[in-house]
Amino acid sequence: MQNKSNKHTIVLIVSVVTLLLLSMMIYVSNTLNQSSNTKEGHTNTTSSQGSNAEFAKMTESDIKSSEDKVNIYIFWGDGCPHCKHLAEFFNQHRSEVEKMANLYTLEVWKNSDNLTLMKNFGKFLGETPKGVPYFIIGNKTFSGYSESDTKTQKQILETIKTESQKSIKTDKYKEYKKSSN
């Protein structure tokens, strides 16, 4: 009986030691990977420069007509992770976008006037915005955003570039306001 108990104790100790060694190996491996990525200039997205990017909390009174830049209207929610990623995307492309566009960022979860504007503006465009981010660039609307969707990211930048090159900028908000007066 004692012999069987000793075998169980030995098996238990060997198992615990094995798990500890595996855990240490994984920890060391991850630590080495992180330090080599940092040395190569790579960092993960949580520590990237744009990770603290947020949209400004604007209202409709902030919107100004523009002849030389395209106006982009972004409806977003405070605390929305997809909106935060979109803010980071625009922050990463800030120098490029600022030359071509004005960003109007309207928070809708805590501002009922902005929410009403989003619904009415969307209705004018023939859409029913169901979530955020919801944004308009020229004639194009976007609903939702994924940081891993490079196709949409390219489409956003291409739409901004195309709209900014037009001699007369498409401004759906301006059209919306004319129709509601």
Domain containing residue 58: CATH number: 3.40.30.10
Q: pTM higher than 0.85 for the full model? A: no
Q: Which domain holds residue 158?
A: 50-180
Rounded-to-integer distance, Cα 71 and Cα 89, Å: 17
pLDDT in tens, 67-83: 999 999 999 999 999 99
For residue 90, give the nearest of 156, 164, 43, 142 by alpha carbon: 156
Same structural domain, 158 and 69: yes
Q: Are residues 3 and 81 in the same domain?
A: no
Summarised one tens digit per residue, pLDDT across range 110-146 is: 999 999 999 999 999 999 999 999 999 999 999 999 9
Q: Which residues neighbour 49 within 8 Å (Cβ) at sequence distance 6 or greater? A: 91, 92
Is 132 in contact with 76 (CB distance < 8 Å)? Answer: yes
